[in-house]
A and B are shown apart, each in its own frame.
Chain A
Amino acid sequence: MLSNFEKELIVQIWDKMIPVAEDIGSEALLRMFTTFPKTKTYFSHLDISPNSDHLRCHGKKIVQALADGARNISTLATTLAPLSRFHAYLLRIHPTNFKLLNHCIIVTLACHMGDNFTPVAHAAIDKFLSAFSAVLAEKFR
């Protein structure tokens, strides 16, 4: 459940991430691959070494999708429908992995925002990422 204050806070935070989408996205992915090596099993077709073009490109896509979701929080299911189908029918990622990436996104934000990543901001982002992942996993079965 997100309050209006939290929804605005989420938009503010993600708007700041758009110009640095490649940096933030690739860092979150690298953290995930390093801390949870099993997540690499989904990326055998890409070069996910630190700072690779694939990593930066993929990281950017993820941050942009999250920023898009942030601006359309009330209509997440509709906004994310294509991505939801993609994750369910093509990617078929084990659903527990969403939490691992969400955690690494949060750690990345914490690193870059420092004290601005207040407990209230943390809670709002955590709730948003959970809602976002739930929509992505919705069509799994």
Chain B
Amino acid sequence: MVEWTDAERTAILGLWGKLNIDEIGPQALSRCLIVYPWTQRYFSTFGNLSSPAAIMGNAKVAAHGRTVMGGLERAIKNMDNIKATYAALSVMHSEKLHVDPENFKLLADCITVCAAMKFGPSGFNADIQEAWQKFLSVVVSALGRQYH
């Protein structure tokens, strides 16, 4: 069972409250596909991913970025039970999508970088970063939990 301190809960929920998930979802996913190009392997049906500009302008990437943030919202609303909340999603990523769970960390890092860019050194200070990354690592772990 993950233990959240009051400070961590406040930091995570505070940050989430200030995020525009329709903005950060597309930004983070397109960043992931650009910075870690091997992740494009899972998006062969998404059309033109041939350049950073193409990726950033790709409507399917943007839509999927918003879907991912919707998934993250479920974790935010169930912070004390992320593992159970994500059980079906984990099975899907393993059995249907066949995503190497190592890649979840990369997308999580891109979400973190986008938050850092938006909120700057005081809005995204070291303590907020720690809490946010702890949250994302729980999410990443839950997503990889049902792989066998």
Give residues in A with beta carbon < 8 Å to B. Answer: 27, 30-31, 33-35, 50, 103, 106-108, 110-115, 117, 119-120, 122-123, 126
User: Interface extent on B, as a size class?
Assistant: 20 to 34
Closest to A27 in B: B121
Q: Are A34 and B116 interface neighbours, CB within 8 A?
A: no
Q: Which of the residues A33, A115, A119 comes within 8 Å of B35, measured between beta carbons?
A: A119
Q: Are B129 and A107 interface neighbours, CB within 8 A?
A: yes
Q: Are A111 and B116 interface neighbours, CB within 8 A?
A: yes
CB distance from A21 to the nearest CB of B (A): 15
For A115, list chain B residues within 8 Å (CB): 117
Q: How far is the CA of A46 from the CA of B117 in the complex (A)?
A: 30
Q: Are A120 and B121 interface neighbours, CB within 8 A?
A: no
Q: How would you classify the secondary structure of chain A's contact residues: helix, strand, loop or mixed?
A: helix
For A106, list chain B residues within 8 Å (CB): 113
| Interface assignment of B30: CB less than 8 Å from any CB of chain A | yes
Q: Are A31 and B113 interface neighbours, CB within 8 A?
A: no
Scan residues 67-125 of chain B and give those whose CB is less than 8 A from a CB of chain A. Answer: 109, 112-114, 116-121, 124
Given A119-B30, A123-B35, A126-B35: A107 touches B127 (CB 8 Å cut-off): no
